[in-house]
A and B are shown apart, each in its own frame.
Chain A
């Protein structure tokens, strides 16, 4: 089965940059999507197709993908960015849609 591995947590000061990684075998060959989930709320799509943003998502959110690692970068971190973040890919016709293990971003 296809596994996506994320660091459990990241702590960053306000105004700094948070970097969240998502590791998977040859993930660079897949399209990676990222979701933000705040406590008690449904997930929200923040980046799709490696680095595109849905309307309404700030430019501070960006993504990249190469080799075995995809990355979500949140620049100029704000208190409202504190949340869990999940990566997701289409893993083919046996595993279908796979989510990463999730990363908790804390704003110091």
Chain B
């Protein structure tokens, strides 16, 4: 079965940094494009970043560009999101989601990031 498991969330002060991880199993991780999608408390879904299987293509939403960095280590079946300069509005559940052609076919259970002093 396809599985994606996120970790690394927690409480961080404004301006701080955090690194999220997502480990995939049950599919060809290195061949799959993976994304980060977040959901603020009580709000809708917001796509924030995409990385292709070989890391050659990367996209960011304007809301995180210049502050967040997506990366992956296919040898470890792992995806990362380095988040710097965190703001209160970055408080959300962060999901990693595998991408098929244009849609997200499998999602992790999410990890909560809270930015607060």
Contacts and interface: CB of A to CB of B under 8 A. Distances in A.
Given A35-B45, A96-B47, A102-B45, A88 B103 contact: yes
Contact of A35 (B100, B104, B110): B104
A interface majority secondary structure: strand
Given A35-B45, A96-B61, 10 more contacts: A33-B102, A33-B103, A42-B109, A43-B97, A44-B107, A45-B103, A96-B50, A97-B47, A97-B50, A99-B46
A99 B107 CA distance: 15
Chain B, interface size category, equals 20 to 34
B49 to A, nearest CB: 9
A86 B45 contact: yes
Contacts, number: 54
A96 B59 contact: yes
Contact of A42 (B44, B61, B105, B108): B108
Interface of A: 31, 33, 35, 37, 41-45, 48-49, 54, 86, 88-90, 96-102
Interface of B: 35, 44-47, 50, 59, 61, 95, 97, 100, 102-110
B45 A99 contact: yes
A86 B44 contact: yes
A17 to B, nearest CB: 24
